[in-house]
Structure 1
């Protein structure tokens, strides 16, 4: 939805840039909590490791946003207006040309970071609930098996 394409994070091979982004998000969340107890200015002034790690994580997150913005911008310049499927939120914001690149970058970064956090928590909760209810696991498994047979294994049609 954000980029108008799949990121490929469920494949056997994960792009190193995507993995670096995930690692940066993890580090950002890990360093946020300890920073709630001391003023950021103090941490910055003393050069605390938690501060340096936090800044490094955000730099990585913003660099990923920059790469995505540049990639989408190049695609938009190559593709005529009518020849594109759903372009995604980022491309739509760029095409509207109503926000500055910095505002778009900030918005995309927040959406990317928030998407990672909310997806992981929701998935964890879902797996926990399925583990608590084996009967639902069987029901879901039967439903998926029936859909796979009906759609002759075509995953997109199953959806």
Structure 2
């Protein structure tokens, strides 16, 4: 069954997800859509491997965008079956404050050895623990004088 695109969508045709036009493909496993009435290109989206994957078809025509979306979905499914989707690099692989704080707490006692008291070092650990996870202060503590 061939799906044809309607003429110009009206503002009332805006869907709950914010798109103006949306057409399910591949039995509802993939869909193409336009974000607004002014959109030049069709967008494509599919939920594969517990993630929503989206992209632009970079095509203006409905038939060409539909063909592109079907091929894109099949390629995505192939990557999932081969296990290649799990090999994507994480988007945010940067160091966090917690990582930096843990490294500081490992190095601080060594850097201040003999120059600062254990109470002073423990106060830094308490300060970091109050702004981060409670396990940080106990995991790097030197021998506390209050023990």
TM range, smaller chain? under 0.3
TM-score by length of 2: 0.26
TM-score by length of 1: 0.24
Structure with more strand by fraction: 2
Max radius of gyration: which structure? 2
